[in-house]
């Protein structure tokens, strides 16, 4: 038995019957949450809810029985929890994309990020009540992540359509003194990949802004630090930025970069959100362009929206450079797509090729 009678998916929509819809499974032990998530997902014609199940064991059985593109997987469930089910689901279908639904607690954040390192594609802060399920921000995040991951799943098995050529900029005359990274939807997994690729060879400080709740950012910094490559911490107000270390913007604070005789420093602010985000990439890049006299190298990774576009323009105007993640490897080609289409990039690359390119561009004699 795959699901209870009350949990059977609705008849296929026109989109799903044509084979075009993204097939999603909702796995949660609460029937109320399962129903609420399914209603949100099926409000979008690009999605069909193919299965609703109440524990990880049933999820594994469902994936073995029928094609699923994306699973929204709860963590704490009876019979089999999400973390136990995760490797079994990926073994049953290695191309499956899994979104971990995590509570907004320190423990929930730690488990969600452990799941990302085990192969989950993304995470979703789980609503604490049926009221927050209907919040516009939650609805938007759920739909964007599921559709983005569904498109990634399809791209892995279908030929990529040729894209119109992008206008690329020449490399800057001087090497950067700061590496600045921006990311959002799909970002944690991309950051793990980027940091792994950079290794211990980065000769400048690294600042990162990832759109993420305050509960999650210290856990993300800890997981990046535990990779044993560059040391990573949440940035602290007023601290000196040291080469070969990563400074992550804390949740609900903007991370700015300031210059001075003693070198670059972090400055945290509670200024209003920009692009509906705090932390936001734009203020980090604007401040970095000014503090470093333009000698900034930007890496813009997967993310929805246009946060980082205005800041990258300031960096380029001041003499810096930017690398964007390509559409084929992005969960959502919003932030990197915005700077690529604006002609601000030196290169637009698949995620695995970004770190080698950054290291190449960071080489050179420093003052």
Residue 249's alpha-carbon distances to 38, 125, 212, 221, in angstroms, are 33, 18, 9, 9
Of the residues 28, 74, 307, 326, only one is catalytic, namely 307
Of the residues 102, 211, 287, 326, only one is catalytic, namely 211
| Centroid of chain to Cα 135 | 21
Question: Backbone dihedral region of 156: left (phi > 0), alpha (psi from -120 to 50 degrees) or beta?
Answer: alpha
279: preceding bond cis by omega (within 30 degrees) = yes
List the beta bridge partners of residue 248. Answer: 208, 234
Rounded to an integer, what distance in angstroms lies between the CA atom of residue 252 and that of residue 269?
9
Length of the chain: 367
Of the residues 51, 183, 184, 330, only one is catalytic, namely 184
Sheet architecture: strand order including 70-74: 47-53, 22-27, 70-74, 97-102, 122-125
Alpha helices (H) along 43-161 = 56-65, 82-92, 106-118, 130-133, 136-155
Rounded to an integer, what distance in angstroms lies between the CA atom of residue 68 and that of residue 24?
6
Rounded to an integer, what distance in angstroms lies between the CA atom of residue 286 and that of residue 233?
22
Q: Is 282 a catalytic residue?
A: no
Hey, which residues are catalytic here?
184, 211, 307
């Amino acid at each position: 038995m795959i699901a209870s009678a009350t949990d059977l998916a609705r008849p296929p929509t026109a989109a799903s019957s044509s084979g075009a819809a993204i097939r999603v499974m909702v796995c949660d032990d609460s029937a109320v949450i399962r129903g609420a998530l399914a209603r949100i997902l099926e409000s979008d014609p690009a999605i069909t809810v193919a299965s609703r199940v109440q524990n990880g064991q049933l999820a594994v059985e469902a994936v073995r029985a029928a094609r699923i593109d994306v699973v929204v997987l709860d963590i704490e469930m009876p019979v089999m929890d999400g973390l136990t089910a995760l490797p079994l689901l990926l073994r049953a279908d290695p191309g499956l994309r899994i979104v971990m639904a995590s509570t907004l607690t320190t423990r929930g954040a730690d488990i969600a990020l452990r799941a990302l390192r085990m192969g989950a594609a993304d995470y979703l802060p789980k609503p604490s009540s049926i009221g927050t399920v209907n919040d516009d921000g939650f609805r938007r995040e759920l739909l964007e992540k599921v559709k983005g991951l569904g498109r990634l799943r399809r791209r892995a098995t279908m030929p990529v359509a040729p894209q119109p050529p992008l206008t690329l900029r020449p490399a800057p005359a001087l090497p950067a003194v700061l590496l600045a990274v921006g990311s959002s939807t799909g970002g944690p997994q991309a950051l793990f990949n980027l940091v792994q690729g950079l290794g211990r060879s980065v000769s400048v400080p690294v600042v990162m802004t990832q759109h993420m709740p305050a509960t999650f950012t210290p856990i993300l910094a800890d997981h990046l630090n535990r990779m044993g490559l560059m040391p990573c911490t949440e940035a602290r107000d007023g601290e000196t930025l040291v080469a070969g270390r990563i400074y992550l913007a804390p949740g609900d604070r903007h991370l700015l970069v300031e210059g001075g005789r003693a070198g670059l420093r972090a400055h945290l602010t509670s200024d209003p959100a920009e692009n509906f985000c705090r932390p936001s990439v734009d203020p980090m890049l604007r401040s970095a362009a000014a503090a470093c006299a333009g000698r900034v190298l930007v890496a813009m990774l997967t993310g929805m929206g246009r946060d980082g576009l205005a800041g990258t323009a300031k960096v380029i105007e001041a003499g810096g450079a930017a690398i964007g993640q390509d559409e084929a490897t992005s969960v959502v080609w919003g932030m990197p797509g915005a700077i690529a289409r604006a002609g601000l990039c030196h290169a637009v690359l698949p995620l695995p090729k970004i770190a080698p390119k950054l290291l190449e561009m960071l080489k050179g004699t420093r003052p």
